[in-house]
């Protein structure tokens, strides 16, 4: 499975198998959450957007987003700017 796979091209069983093959010691929490968000967009039909929300000290946070619509890129950029994106932020210039 690659990031270029269109939405709805992966079966739920394939996605679960992929998650089951992951070695948790080889991934950060951020990369695991991003993998779940990315796989969910491949399983759902249409042009889905997904996010993972967490409660951290009773405050909601959305560290990961994935999707194929233009709005997702905007939200992901906003999340990166606020430090809430799963992918590491680029160094400030």
pLDDT tens, position by position, 26-67: 999 999 999 999 999 999 988 889 999 999 999 998 888 888
3-state secondary structure of 65: strand
Distance CA 1, CA 12 (A): 13
Mean pLDDT confidence for 11-16: 93
In b/e form, how buried is each residue of 8-28, taking b as 16+ CB within 10 angstroms?
eebeeeebeeeeeeeeeeeee
């Amino acid at each position: 499975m690659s990031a270029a796979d269109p939405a709805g091209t992966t079966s739920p069983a394939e996605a679960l198998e992929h998650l089951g093959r992951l070695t948790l010691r080889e991934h950060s929490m951020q990369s695991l959450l991003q993998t779940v968000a990315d796989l969910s967009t491949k399983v759902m039909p249409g042009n889905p957007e997904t996010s993972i929300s967490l409660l951290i000290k009773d405050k909601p946070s959305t560290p990961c987003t994935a999707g194929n619509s233009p709005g997702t890129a905007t939200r992901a950029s906003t999340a990166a700017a606020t430090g809430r994106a799963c992918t590491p932020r680029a160094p400030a210039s």
